[in-house]
């Protein structure tokens, strides 16, 4: 039933990525997880995000079938999905609702797939010559690179923690383009395998560690070695490369290693990554490894706007309430809120909250010294990074600082925050990265004008180090077993994909959280 529901959702909204992912993972498509991760990665590069972070994954899938990064078997499964999608979309407009549902169930159970095979699949094209295949791959990569330049460039100004990953992917695309060009111009008589080893070694010598990781886990070389791939065939001496590709393939098929958020020998982790993994490892896999896009809720958008307004107000050296409210009006328009009653109420709520924020700021005895200050430091092999919303100097000199994180969620008491990792991590970051001797921490619940101090000591610092190492070990070992609970599942964006969520959780709670 949930398969039918997923198909209904994606047919009415192709930007419903979680529904598309469920349809891809389930019969009759059954795309493997590793291929799913690769396809989402390619689709993200090929397809512009719409409003509120939406990605048209169906459009992205069509682009993925053209990419040399997607192996032939996965390409066939995607083509099967697209054919099924085309057929079902046409029937949605022409059949009566119950006839449509019955027909969809037939298609998903495979009863109608035989018809698709007979009538709707196109005969395979004859394979082009090897040199032409290499040239065709070069053309595809060139187009992909040029599209990627605009997309990556456009995202450099966004508040994101994985910008270096984006840049490295772009740089690796360029290195692969150089590789193909070098292979096309290799000396007469040199085999593809010999040239490939030599060119790869030269390119790797010029790459950063992160780029090397991406470069070495790309499927391009495997594609070059396959019959029908970019450089295969005896004429090109591709037999050795084919054997190598075959040796590599089985390991890759079962491992999500290339998709882990690697940085050097460890992982790139944020406080939110750690919280997500601890709440449910499977949810972490969907969000950070497969990177399934999810649509922002109106309340998430609200939280982001309030957060950005405060950031811009302070960055511009704002002083007056009028300046703060003018920032809100601008940010509200840019976020695409409407004139509906619900949105007008939210705007009023933001105005009231920011007016109180401004009044409180004027009364504080502490002095705000940094806003959105970034940190980056290591625990073991892992790189921890993030930003602290505001840092106040309390008292005279540089004796003590207060690290403040804004929240638009419902307030929690100090007792409820006893096991909170985020502020413990920030306290450690202030010491390790910024060299602050001492700090206090607090959450500031903006909508309620309530500051909740969270006391942390040396034992908390040791505990948080242990948590980071444990989470890092779990991710590196690809331990992504679900740990369902009402608290985690009721706010999880991946319930339609999750096999254990079926029938056990209600609709998500409304949560206003502006943590990025
Ligand atoms: S629905 Fe629950 S069990 Fe499934 S991924 Fe989300 S949090 Fe984990």
Percent of the chain exceeding pLDDT 70 equals: 80
Give yes or no: residues 96 and 135 share one domain: no
Least confident of 157-166, 350-359, 394-403: 157-166
Helix (DSSP H) and strand (DSSP E) numbers for the chain: 21, 7
Give yes or no: residues 312 and 440 share one domain: yes
Q: Confirm or reject: Cβ of 492 under 6 Å from ligand 1.
A: yes
Give yes or no: residues 66 and 170 share one domain: no
Residue 292 resides in a domain: no
Over 50: is that where the pLDDT of 413 sits? yes
pLDDT in tens, 161-207: 556 767 877 888 889 889 888 888 888 888 888 888 889 999 998 98
Mean pLDDT of 357-366: 90
- pLDDT band of 252, cuts 50, 70, 90: very low
Atom of ligand 1 nearest to the CA of 495: 1
Domain span holding position 44: 2-120
> CA-CA distances (angstroms) from residue 512 to 49, 300, 340, 445, 451?
23, 6, 19, 10, 16
Give yes or no: residues 421 and 327 share one domain: yes
pLDDT in tens, 39-93: 888 888 776 554 445 677 888 888 888 877 788 888 889 999 999 999 999 999 8
Identify the residue whose C-alpha is closest to ligand 1 atom 5.
283
Atom of ligand 1 nearest to the CA of 280: 8
Q: Confirm or reject: Cβ of 285 under 6 Å from ligand 1.
A: no
Q: Write down the pLDDT at residue 398.
A: 59
The tally of domains found in the chain comes to: 3
Residue 340 resides in a domain: yes
Residue 72 resides in a domain: yes
Over 90: is that where the pLDDT of 381 sits? yes
Return d(Cα 60, Cα 20) in angstroms, integer: 11
Report cis status (omega within 30 of 0) of the bond before 28: yes
- pLDDT band of 430, cuts 50, 70, 90: very high
Over 90: is that where the pLDDT of 408 sits? yes
Backbone angles phi, psi at 444, to 5 degrees: -110, 110
Residue 121 CA, ligand 1 centroid: distance in Å: 36
Ligand 1, from 33, 482, 487, 509: best to mutate by most atoms within 8 Å of Cβ?
A: 482
Return d(Cα 59, Cα 315) in angstroms, integer: 38
Give yes or no: residues 374 and 341 share one domain: yes
Residue 505 CA, ligand 1 centroid: distance in Å: 9
- pLDDT band of 246, cuts 50, 70, 90: very low
Q: How many CB atoms lie within 10 A of CB 336?
A: 11
Mean pLDDT of 390-402: 82
Give yes or no: residues 250 and 354 share one domain: no
- Whether 230 and 68 have beta carbons less than 8 Å apart is answered as yes
Residue 34 CA, ligand 1 centroid: distance in Å: 19
Which residues 6+ apart lie within 8 Å of 127 measured at CB? 133, 227, 228
Which residues 6+ apart lie within 8 Å of 371 measured at CB? 310, 311, 314, 315, 389, 390, 391
pLDDT in tens, 267-291: 999 999 999 999 999 999 999 999 9
Q: Confirm or reject: Cβ of 284 under 6 Å from ligand 1.
A: no
Identify the residue whose C-alpha is closest to ligand 1 atom 4.
498
Give yes or no: residues 452 and 397 share one domain: yes
- The domain spanning residue 59 has which CATH number? 1.10.486.10
Ligand 1, from 275, 285, 483, 492: best to mutate by most atoms within 8 Å of Cβ?
A: 492
Q: Confirm or reject: Cβ of 495 under 6 Å from ligand 1.
A: yes
- The domain spanning residue 307 has which CATH number? 3.90.320.10
Mean pLDDT of 264-269: 93
- pLDDT band of 147, cuts 50, 70, 90: low
Over 70: is that where the pLDDT of 16 sits? yes
Residue 504 resides in a domain: no
Q: Write down the pLDDT at residue 336.
A: 84
Q: Write down the pLDDT at residue 47.
A: 65
pLDDT in tens, 435-485: 998 889 999 999 999 999 998 887 889 999 999 999 999 999 999 999 999
Over 80: is that where the pLDDT of 233 sits? no
Residue 249 resides in a domain: yes
Backbone angles phi, psi at 305, to 5 degrees: -60, -50
Give yes or no: residues 98 and 181 share one domain: no
Give yes or no: residues 314 and 459 share one domain: yes
Give yes or no: residues 107 and 152 share one domain: no
């Amino acid at each position: 039933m949930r398969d039918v529901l997923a198909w209904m959702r994606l047919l009415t909204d192709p930007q419903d990525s979680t529904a598309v992912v469920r349809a891809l993972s389930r019969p009759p498509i059954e795309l493997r997880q590793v291929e799913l991760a690769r396809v989402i990665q390619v689709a993200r590069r090929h397809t512009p995000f719409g409003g509120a972070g939406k990605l048209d994954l169906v459009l992205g899938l069509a682009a993925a079938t053209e990419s040399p990064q997607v192996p032939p078997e996965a390409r066939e499964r995607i083509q099967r999905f697209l054919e099924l999608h085309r057929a079902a979309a046409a029937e949605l407009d022409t059949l009566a609702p119950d006839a449509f549902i019955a027909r969809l169930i037939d298609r998903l159970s495979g009863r109608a797939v035989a018809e698709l095979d007979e009538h709707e699949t196109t005969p395979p094209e004859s394979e082009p010559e090897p040199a032409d295949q290499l040239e065709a791959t070069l053309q595809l990569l060139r187009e992909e690179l040029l599209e990627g330049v605009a997309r990556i460039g456009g995202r450099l100004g966004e508040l994101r923690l994985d910008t270096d990953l984006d840049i490295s992917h772009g740089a690796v695309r360029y290195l692969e383009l150089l590789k193909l060009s070098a292979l096309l111009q290799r000396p007469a008589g040199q085999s593809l395998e010999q040239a490939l080893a030599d060119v790869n070694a030269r390119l790797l010598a010029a790459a950063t560690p992160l780029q090397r990781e991406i470069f070495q886990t790309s499927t391009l070389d495997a594609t070059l070695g396959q019959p029908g791939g970019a450089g295969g065939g005896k004429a090109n001496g591709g037999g050795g490369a084919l054997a190598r590709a075959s040796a590599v393939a089985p390991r890759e098929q079962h491992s999500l290693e290339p998709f882990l958020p690697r940085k050097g020998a460890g992982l790139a982790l944020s406080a939110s990554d750690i919280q997500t993994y601890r709440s449910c490892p499977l949810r972490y896999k969907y969000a950070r490894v497969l990177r399934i896009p999810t649509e922002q809720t109106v309340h998430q958008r609200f939280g982001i706007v309030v957060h950005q307004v405060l950031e811009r107000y302070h960055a511009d050296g704002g002083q007056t309430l009028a300046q703060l409210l003018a920032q809100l009006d601008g940010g509200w328009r840019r976020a695409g809120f409407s004139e509906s009653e619900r949105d007008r109420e939210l705007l009023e709520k933001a105005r009231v909250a920011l007016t109180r924020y401004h009044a409180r700021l004027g009364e504080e005895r502490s002095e705000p010294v940094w806003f959105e200050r970034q940190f980056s430091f290591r625990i073991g092999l892992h790189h921890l990074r993030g930003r602290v919303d505001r840092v106040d100097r309390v008292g005279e000199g540089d004796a003590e600082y207060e690290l403040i994180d804004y929240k638009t969620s419902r307030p929690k008491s100090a007792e409820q925050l006893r096991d909170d990792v985020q502020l413990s991590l920030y306290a450690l970051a202030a010491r390790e990265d910024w060299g602050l001797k001492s700090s206090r921490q607090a959450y500031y619940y903006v909508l309620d004008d309530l500051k909740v101090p969270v006391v942390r000591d040396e034992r908390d610092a040791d505990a948080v180090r242990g948590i980071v190492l444990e989470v890092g070990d779990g991710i590196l070992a690809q331990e992504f077993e679900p740990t369902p609970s009402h608290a985690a599942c009721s706010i999880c964006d991946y319930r339609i994909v999750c096999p254990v969520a079926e029938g056990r959780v209600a609709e998500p709670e409304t949560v206003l959280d502006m943590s990025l």
